[in-house]
């Protein structure tokens, strides 16, 4: 009988945490009595919106770039992203003394593109509805001799992302459930690896926008399933197909997927702003939306939630959460 070594392990997440110490922020864990009363559980919110560049993505990007060889770093790195991974790789490249080329969709939020360029990266755009971002990025990386840092489909990226859950559980102790947003699956793969490595009985629940339920469909089918390009306000979760590596982890460790509508995401963003006094972007708000809308199923006594990011500019936030809503 042959056994396959998983692409990420608890030891790998711990190694990543040691490498990231003093580089990433150890983000706060918030509590809200109002939230606890509304959902009937003790909820502990890991606020990755306070991470460097505004999202958990810096963990995986820095970890992956830091493990490149000096020769690779001398040539530069490339990445493709709808926004947060773009900023994360750009910042990691700057911190590690190398250059970055980022492939972003034409319709990426302007604030995310501006931030990426602000960290010193070169941005090349593509049409997400007619072009393949992976093909575009791979061609440019090959042409220029750059090391490609994928947004989720890489063991070092997954291990870096898993440090968010590792920190949460170090602070809170054992939890009955962990609720995590799902795009390509890197955050939940790393988080589930850390959480179940520490506490095998914990339930790991992913959350996707209704329009982008590729991971839910894939888990139900037992294989990777593609969906049409999602049209959702949760731009960081507008993914058509789960990653191959991430899905190999998530099909073993993820216990279920909850789906949320765009209006429920808006409600969660408003709740975070008005009650928690924090700004969370649409993709970062989906786990909170699942809790508030009762879509996460029966809850254990103590629940951890990863609020994955807060990269939304004031104008878009007002359009999403004010009276005149963005469609």
Domain boundary, last residue among 148, 170, 194: 148
Mean pLDDT to the nearest integer, 55-70: 97
Query: Is 327 part of a structural domain of the chain?
Result: no
pLDDT digits over 152-182, tens only?
999 999 999 999 999 999 999 999 999 999 9
User: Rounded distance, CA 95 to CA 31, Å?
Assistant: 32
Tell me the residue range of the domain where 293 lies. Answer: 10-56+154-321
Question: How far is Cα of residue 156 from the mean position of the Cα atoms in its chain?
Answer: 14
- What are the structure tokens assigned to 51, written together? 């991470």
Instruction: State whether 22 and 83 are in the same domain.
Output: no
Query: Is 1 part of a structural domain of the chain?
Result: no
Q: How many Cα atoms occupy the beta-carbon half-sphere of 241 within 13 Å?
A: 11
- Per mean pLDDT, which range of 82-96, 175-189, 266-280, 298-312 is the poorest? 82-96
Q: Is 214 a catalytic residue?
A: yes
Instruction: State whether 195 and 48 are in the same domain.
Output: yes
Instruction: State whether 43 and 69 are in the same domain.
Output: no
Domain boundary, last residue among 107, 127, 148: 148
pLDDT digits over 17-43, tens only?
999 999 999 999 999 999 999 999 999
Instruction: State whether 182 and 46 are in the same domain.
Output: yes
pLDDT digits over 47-59, tens only?
999 999 999 999 9
Instruction: State whether 125 and 228 are in the same domain.
Output: no
Phi, psi for 87 (deg, rounded to 5) = -65, -40
Domain boundary, last residue among 148, 169, 188: 148
Residue that has been written with the tokens 């947004």 in this structure: 151
Query: Is 20 part of a structural domain of the chain?
Result: yes
Instruction: State whether 192 and 310 are in the same domain.
Output: yes
Query: Is 284 part of a structural domain of the chain?
Result: yes
Q: Over pLDDT 90: what percentage of the chain?
A: 86
User: Rounded distance, CA 123 to CA 116, Å?
Assistant: 8
Secondary structure percentages of the chain, helix, strand, coil, to 5? 50, 15, 35
Instruction: State whether 177 and 268 are in the same domain.
Output: yes
3-state secondary structure of 209: strand
pLDDT of 3 higher than 80: no
Question: Is residue 288 within 8 Å of residue 268, measured between CB atoms?
Answer: yes
Please give the torsion angle defined by the CA atoms of residues 311, 317, 319 and 322, in that order, rounded to the nearest 10 degrees. Answer: 160
CATH at residue 92: 3.40.50.1100
Assign 235 a pLDDT band (cuts: 50, 70, 90). confident
Q: How many Cα atoms occupy the beta-carbon half-sphere of 150 within 13 Å?
A: 19
Q: Is 183 a catalytic residue?
A: no
Other CB atoms closer than 10 Å to residue 131's CB: what's the count?
14
Q: Is 308 a catalytic residue?
A: yes
Helix (H) or strand (E) holding 46: strand 42-47
Residue in 264, 308, 309, 310 annotated catalytic? 308
pLDDT for the residue 323: 64
The distance in angstroms from the start CA to the end CA of the chain is 52
Instruction: State whether 268 and 295 are in the same domain.
Output: yes
pLDDT digits over 216-231, tens only?
999 999 999 999 888 9
Query: Is 88 part of a structural domain of the chain?
Result: yes
Query: Is 3 part of a structural domain of the chain?
Result: no
3-state secondary structure of 260: strand
Instruction: State whether 52 and 62 are in the same domain.
Output: no
Residue in 54, 76, 82, 309 annotated catalytic? 82
Instruction: State whether 97 and 224 are in the same domain.
Output: no
Question: Is residue 209 within 8 Å of residue 258, measured between CB atoms?
Answer: no
Contacting residues for 250 by C-beta, under 8 A, at least 6 apart: 182, 185, 188, 189, 192, 206, 215, 219, 242
Instruction: State whether 213 and 308 are in the same domain.
Output: yes
User: Rounded distance, CA 58 to CA 190, Å?
Assistant: 14
CB contact burial 108-123 (16+ within 10 A = b; e otherwise) = bbebbbebbbebebeb
Q: Is 327 a catalytic residue?
A: no
Query: Is 112 part of a structural domain of the chain?
Result: yes
pLDDT of 2 higher than 70: no
Domain count, the chain: 2
pLDDT of 1 higher than 70: no
Q: Is 212 a catalytic residue?
A: yes
Residue in 48, 153, 167, 214 annotated catalytic? 214
Instruction: State whether 134 and 160 are in the same domain.
Output: no
* 216-222 own/partner pairs: CB under 8 Å, 24+ apart: 216/257, 216/259, 218/242, 218/247, 218/251, 219/250, 219/251, 219/254, 219/257, 222/251
Query: Is 70 part of a structural domain of the chain?
Result: yes
Residue in 42, 46, 48, 57 annotated catalytic? 57
Q: Is 82 a catalytic residue?
A: yes
Question: How far is Cα of residue 232 from the mean position of the Cα atoms in its chain?
Answer: 16
């Amino acid at each position: 009988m042959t056994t396959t070594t998983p692409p990420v392990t608890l030891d790998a997440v711990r190694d990543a945490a040691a490498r990231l110490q003093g580089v990433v922020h150890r983000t706060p864990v918030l509590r809200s009595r109002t939230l606890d009363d509304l959902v009937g559980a003790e909820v502990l919110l890991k606020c990755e919106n306070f991470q460097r560049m505004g999202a958990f993505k810096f963990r995986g990007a820095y970890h992956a770039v830091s493990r490149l060889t000096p020769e690779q770093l001398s040539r530069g790195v490339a990445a493709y992203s709808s926004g947060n991974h773009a900023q994360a790789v750009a910042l990691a490249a700057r911190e590690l003394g190398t250059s970055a080329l980022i492939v972003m969709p034409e319709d990426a939020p302007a604030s995310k593109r501006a931030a990426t360029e602000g960290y010193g990266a070169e941005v090349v755009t593509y049409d997400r509805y007619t072009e393949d971002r992976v093909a575009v990025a791979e061609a440019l990386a090959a042409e220029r001799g750059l090391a490609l840092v994928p947004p989720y489909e890489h063991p070092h990226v997954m291990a870096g992302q898993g440090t968010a859950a590792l920190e949460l559980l170090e602070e809170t102790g054992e939890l009955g459930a962990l609720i995590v947003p799902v795009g390509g699956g890197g955050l939940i793969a790393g988080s589930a690896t850390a959480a179940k490595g520490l506490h095998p009985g914990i339930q790991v629940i992913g959350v996707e926008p209704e329009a982008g339920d590729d991971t839910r469909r894939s888990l139900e089918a037992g294989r990777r399933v593609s969906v049409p390009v999602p049209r959702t306000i949760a731009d960081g979760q507008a993914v058509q197909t789960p990653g191959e590596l991430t899905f190999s982890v998530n099909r073993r460790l993820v216990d279920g997927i909850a789906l949320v509508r765009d209006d429920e995401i808006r409600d969660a963003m408003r709740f975070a702003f008005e009650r928690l006094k924090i700004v969370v972007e649409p993709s970062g708000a989906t786990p909170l939306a699942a809790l508030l809308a009762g879509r996460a199923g029966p809850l254990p006594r103590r629940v951890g939630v990863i609020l994955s990011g807060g990269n939304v500019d004031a104008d878009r936030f007002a359009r999403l959460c004010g009276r005149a809503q963005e469609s």
